[in-house]
Amino acid sequence: MDASASLKQTVTHLFDAVRHSSRAKELEEEASKAEGDLIEELNRLESQVEELTNVLGSMRAGTEEAVKEFSRQVEEFLDTARRQATEKLRKKTSEEVKELREAAASERDRGLKSLESYLASEPLPVVDSAVHVRFTEGIYEARSSQQCEGGMKYDFRLATQNSPLFGKALHLSQLDYELRIPVRLSRALLKKESVPGFERLDQYLLASAETSAGKVRANFEKEGNGAKIKIITSGPDSGFVGVEYSDQTQQVNVMTDPSLSAHVDIEAVKKAMGEVVTGLSDLSSKKIALLRLSVGGEEVLENVDSAAVLQLVLKVMGPAYQSTVRKIANGTYADDPDLSIDFLRERLKVLGGLSSAVASSLGFQIPH
């Protein structure tokens, strides 16, 4: 993504994420303050009741029966009033705290959705990415992992239900492949030399796979007997292929055994794995939920700390954004209303107290 597109994503989705998460934090602080104020009010009420109780106690020290009865009645009334006042204070505060926390949760949800929209567009330079699938309970679970410049990492859950490859259990026979993998040698009855014993890979289920930079690591399992085949390729432009087989009685590295590797149809294996890579790569655009987010090794998703994300983005993209702002000021993007100085200034207002510092990072001043 070029700097102008990244800037547009930042001032829209990321600024909204910061606004919502900041508001959520403020609401949580208000809720905590209300709970603290309740404790102070109850302590003050108890202190006042105690003072009055001491006065009534001194009245009962007298010998007049009428005074003692009066003191007793007042003390009973005081206790009832105390309980009613306590209940009223607790109920009022409970309702207030509930409303504040519900509002905070709503703001966090909005912040999370804005953050998901922002990161789904991959606005920062990605230095490493991968897509993973795993077959579990009859479906494929899929996720993508990105590591960006500046030390930000995030994972997305991916939708597999409409994937041609991963919408259901995948066997290579579905792709019209009938691959045979030599996994053992046995002595032929009528010949002196050994002959390879094959496993038909197309009969195996794809149990899990991971791709990164065109490379793939795929694990296949044969349902029923626990046999497994692992295939690793080093990329579309490389001839390196790794094949390992294991079952309950043996484990063999096929490609390091010349008597077995000679019988491997490497091109057919690479072609089949190329289709798996293509299917995994297609999944990467089907992001549906942010699973994990860390900035500088610190997890920030639980609290939706969008301000930490913005700080990192400005650190990484600051120079490029400043160059883009200069071009905007010079009219380079005159045909794009979302890339104007007025639009940027208007968007900066949603950041509240952060607006001046962020404006400075972008290379212009907010007029007072």
Closest CA relative to residue 202, chosen from 123, 276, 104: 276
Q: pLDDT band for position 58 (50/70/90)?
A: low
Alpha helices in the chain (DSSP H): 3-9, 15-60, 65-120, 258-261, 266-283, 306-329, 341-348, 355-362
| Both structure tokens of 293 | 């987010």
- 132: exposed, middle or buried (C-beta count within 10 Å: 0-12, 13-18, 19+)? buried
In the chain, % of residues over pLDDT 70: 91
Residues 6+ apart with CB under 8 A from 349: 355
Distance CA 72, CA 230 (A): 86
C-alpha 15/C-alpha 295 separation (Å) is: 17
Average model confidence (pLDDT) across the chain: 86
Q: Nearest to residue 82, comparing CAs of 42, 117, 126? A: 42
DSSP three-state, residue 149:
coil
Q: Which residue has the tokens 């609401």?
A: 27
Q: Report CA dihedral (327, 331, 336, 340) to the nearest 10 degrees.
A: 70
Average pLDDT over residues 95-112: 91
Q: What is the pLDDT of residues 11-45, one digit of tens each?
A: 999 999 999 999 999 898 889 888 888 888 888 87
Quick: pLDDT tens for 225-255. Answer: 889 999 999 876 666 889 999 988 889 999 8
Q: In terms of pLDDT, which residue wins out, 295 or 303?
A: 295
DSSP conformation letters of 89-117: HHHHHHHHHHHHHHHHHHHHHHHHHHHHH
Cα 11 to Cα 310: distance, rounded to the nearest angstrom: 10
CA dist., res. 25 & res. 28, Å (int):
5
Distance in angstroms (rounded) separating the CA atoms of residues 144 and 126: 12
What the block records as the tokens of 118 is 């922002």
Per domain, the residue ranges of the chain are 18-107, 163-283
Q: Calculate mean pLDDT across residues 158-179.
A: 87
Q: In this structure, what are the phi and psi dihedrals at residue 247, rounded to the nearest 5 degrees?
A: -145, -160
